[in-house]
Amino acid sequence: MRRIVAAVLLSLFLSLLVAAQTAHRVAIRAGKLIDGRGDKPIENALILIEGDKIVSVTPGGSAPSGTEVIDLSKSTVLPGFIDAHTHVLLQGDITAEEYDEQLLKQSIPYRAILAARNAHIALTHGFTTIRDLETEGAMYADVDVKNAIANGEVPGPRMQVATRAMTPTGMYPLLGYSWELKVPTGVQYVDGAEGARKAVREQAMYGADWIKYYSDRRYHFESDGVLHSMVNFTDEEAKAIVDETHRLGKKVAAHAIGSDGIAAALRAGVDTIEHGDGLTEALMDEMAKRGVYWVPTITVGVYVAPGRGGSWEKMAALERESFSKALKKGIKIALGTDAGGFDWKKLNQAKEFEYYVQYGMTPMQAIRAGTSVPAELLGWGDKLGTIEAGKWADIVAVSGDPLRDITELQRVVFVMKGGTVQKNELK
């Protein structure tokens, strides 16, 4: 018996030894390193990477002999970006027609192919991680895209996915078609507290990392100057969604634009508020107190407003006001763009950083909003979001200085994900 144990231990030791020897080592020489922790960049830093993880970060420092060195000495190096709100299965929907056409005329396999392309676009723009917040009628195809990337079959960011999202019956498109037609639905219709619990279990069974639900619709300004909305679920239903999700160890994202929808989502106990244009002072205080994240998605709001008309222009202006107030109140703001709500090919989602600086963040705050803050939101604060020993080697670089010009982040020249170079324009 003792001999068997010794043999097992020896073979374990040998296999560890082999693994240590075969793990690929590479070093990055960074002209300037914004590690996502300190307030100032580190000049001339050496990042040592082994396999998919960062081993050490040293100012000055030289690479161990025989280690391949990637020369980024003329660049600014940062943690890989994180977009906490995307739709890889959507190709822009400024109008209802654009949305309906995708669901009616494109098969889910075709949409999944475009999703793989979109994931690659995100990666080349420096987004090494995304939280994809529902498939808009493409069922569980986000789980397949995520798995194909994780298995190394196609290039793309790390993903957490929400699968189908939820509203009660009749509160999300496709709508307005003859009752004689069976048309696809952009979300899963869910009714009653028991129905809510069952839907959460079903989505979790098929691979949802997050549960998303639509807290409201029909956004409108009233005489009090506040952006109001119609709340979708009863409190009992929304609480059942949140309770069941938390029971399964997962988290809830709520689409909530008007003040009524935000208030209802906070009553239900959600973890993140998406969009949040109609945030009032009282709602912001509540979010700050409870540590609920705000994912503002400014890029999409500004982009779709001219094409949508109605209250959308005023909503985009209101969100700018809310943003500076939220910043003063210390709300946790995580970068999210709603890419897919705009065409992935037409707009670089890193534009969101630019809005945050325009709306009152320092460039360093904006960078954290797109790196360490969403890493925590995803529950990956110990693995992602900063460049330090022990974390996954998700690293990007730009040629200029983003602390002087935040639009530099829209011109990423180098991308590494998990220690593998995905893009290098400096070679």
Q: What's the CA gap between 299 and 354, in Å, rounded? A: 9
CB of 327 to Zn ion, least distance (A): 22
CA-based radius of gyration for the chain: 23
CB-nearer residue toward Zn ion: 217 or 411: 217
Q: What are phi and psi of 196, to 5 degrees?
A: -65, -45
CA angle, residues 290, 293, 298, in degrees to nearest 5 = 145
CB of 337 to Zn ion, least distance (A): 9
Q: What's the CA gap between 189 and 417, in Å, rounded? A: 37
- CA 168 and chain centroid, separation: 25
Of residues 112 through 141, those in contact with Zn ion by CB under 5 A are none
CB-nearer residue toward Zn ion: 244 or 338: 338
Q: What's the CA gap between 333 and 315, in Å, rounded? A: 18
Residue 144, interface with Zn ion (CB under 5 A)?
no
275 and 316 in contact (C-beta within 8 Å)? no
CB-nearer residue toward Zn ion: 26 or 161: 161
CB of 65 to Zn ion, least distance (A): 49
Of residues 303 through 362, those in contact with Zn ion by CB under 5 A are 338
Total binding residues for Zn ion by CB under 5 A? 1
CB of 300 to Zn ion, least distance (A): 7
CB-nearer residue toward Zn ion: 257 or 361: 257
- Tokens for 52? 């998919």
Q: What's the CA gap between 224 and 228, in Å, rounded? A: 10
Contacts of 61 by beta carbon, 8 Å cutoff, 6+ apart: 45, 46
CB of 273 to Zn ion, least distance (A): 12
Comparing every residue's Cβ against Zn ion, the nearest one is 338
CB-nearer residue toward Zn ion: 331 or 339: 339
CB of 349 to Zn ion, least distance (A): 12
CB-nearer residue toward Zn ion: 75 or 91: 91
Q: Does residue 384 have a cis peptide bond before it, meaning omega lies within 30 degrees of 0?
A: no
**Interface residues with Zn ion (CB under 5 A)?**
338
